[in-house]
Amino acid sequence: MASSPKVVLVTGCSEGGIGNALCQAYAAQGCIVYATARRPESMNNLDHPTIHKLKLDVVEDDQVREVVKTIVDREGRIDILVNNAGMAAPGPLLDMSMDYTRQAFEVHTFAILGLCRAVAPHMAKRKSGTIVTIGSITGLFPLPFHGTYSAAKAATHSIMDSLWMECQPLGINATLVTAGFVKTNIIANARPHFHLPENTLYSSYVTKIYESLEVGRGSGSSVTGADVFAEKVAKETMKRNPPRNIYIGGQSVLFRFFMWLPRVLVLMFLWKKA
């Protein structure tokens, strides 16, 4: 007797991003996928018959509850939650406005908690389910001029470590994807809105700061394609006992090696490479 297809909820699914590729990868594996984004029209390329599109701003608690209720009412369950929605936050920490810093943490930390709290009770009732969160190698070691993003991702990693422990008695798996450099539009979308203040303390580093944006745009041989990234993540997280952590993407192996070195040496190396 064939098992029922898994029901997957993915956040941040605009075309050109990891979430969009993940939706296609899960659908290719036979899943029923609910793709979400703030602007539904940004997901127009998702035309697979088992992909359903819903509007969701992950920082809006009412929308989160409504989307989860809609899926559970239709399908009876959510088997896999993928916390993917994110935003770039380039620029020196000391130049970043507090509003923008708070926004980065809202998206990368508080929104994850909100989604987990909405979905976990349904998984706990069945003692089955997997929570997946897309982290970053910059959550392990921050990159210069990407400190806000790195700090938010570090918090994300800590949340997932705690969930991995606390979800065990509930029968729920928790998997952190420590993503390296992946070819997406996240930096390209943020760059038009990026500017340094006139009184920046880093006027002599302007060229380096703008060059640092190119790293996240997805160029060079050390960057992994979103489709390759998504295919592996989908296969690994659909397992009955998925891994606690998945390291994948450009330079993820290097950053994993860094964890064995004195932290100060790694930070000095990253600064000199900036």
- Catalytic residue list: 149, 153
How open is the CA angle 137-179-256, to the nearest 5 degrees? 45
CB 149 within 8 A of CB 88: yes
254: left (phi over 0), alpha (psi -120 to 50) or beta: alpha
45 phi, psi to nearest 5 deg: -75, -15
Consecutive H or E run containing 87: none
With 0-12 / 13-18 / 19 or more C-beta atoms within 10 angstroms meaning exposed / middle / buried, residue 207 is exposed
- SS3 (DSSP) at 183: strand
CA distances 235 to 25, 122, 230, Å, are 8, 23, 9
Consecutive H or E run containing 205: none
For residue 107, what are its two tokens? 């998206």
What is the spatial distance between Cα 55 and Cα 41, in angstroms, rounded to a whole number? 9
Nearest 10 degrees: Cα torsion 249, 255, 257, 262:
-170
For the chain, report the end-to-end CA distance as a whole number of angstroms. 56
Please state, as a whole number, how many other Cβ atoms lie within 10 Å of the Cβ of residue 206: 11
